[in-house]
Amino acid sequence: MRRAGFRFPWRPAPLPVARPSRTLTRTPRLLSPPAPFAPFPLDMPFVELDTSLPAGRVPAGLEKRLCAATAAILSKPADRVNVTVRSGLAMVVNGSAEPSAQLLVSSIGVVGTAEENRGHSARFFEFLTKELDLAEDRIMIRFLPLERWQVGKKGTVMTFL
């Protein structure tokens, strides 16, 4: 049995550990600061359309029409919408390599709930089935909500603009 205060000579004495005061209170952190007032939403939707259709089967000017449709569907000004269209990709949707498309819609504040996305989905499907001449089961849509700190612009993030 060891004696109180006994220390093995090859072990250094333990260093004192500073303990935080129990009188400190924690303040809740906000996930995202409130949006400043602006006549138009400052948020910028990003829409990416990937399709296995060859470039020749993708209608000319689709990116501009998709931009206008996205602005209307998400109630955002068209000059804030960012659209990318990629065609001729090797894709498998629902286990089949038949022509297909996947749409990724990411935005701040407008794609966050099932109710919102249900309405958005119906309108995007209507647009895509007409434009691409694909059946609904050959199109997939993913909605990705973004926070202001996840979008960079002008050397900073949207939080500070």
pLDDT of residue 43: 74
pLDDT of residue 36: 47
Say if CB 145 and CB 107 are below 8 A apart: yes
| Residue 17, token pair as written in the block | 């550990």
pLDDT of residue 109: 85
pLDDT of residue 5: 61
pLDDT of residue 85: 98
DSSP string, 37-71: P-SS-----EEEEEE-S-GGGSPTTHHHHHHHHHH
Does residue 125 fall inside a structural domain? yes
Q: For the chain, how many structural domains are there in total?
A: 1
Domain span holding position 60 = 46-160
pLDDT of residue 40: 41
pLDDT of residue 121: 97
Does residue 130 fall inside a structural domain? yes
Say if CB 86 and CB 58 are below 8 A apart: no
pLDDT of residue 39: 40
Q: What is the CATH number of the domain that holds 156?
A: 3.30.429.10
Does residue 138 fall inside a structural domain? yes
Does residue 3 fall inside a structural domain? no
pLDDT of residue 25: 53
Does residue 115 fall inside a structural domain? yes
Does residue 13 fall inside a structural domain? no
Tens-digit pLDDT string for the chain (161 aa): 555 665 556 666 666 666 655 555 555 555 555 544 444 445 789 999 999 999 999 999 999 999 999 999 999 999 999 999 999 999 999 999 999 999 999 998 888 899 999 999 999 999 999 999 999 999 999 999 999 999 988 999 988 88
Does residue 18 fall inside a structural domain? no
Say if CB 94 and CB 59 are below 8 A apart: no
Does residue 17 fall inside a structural domain? no
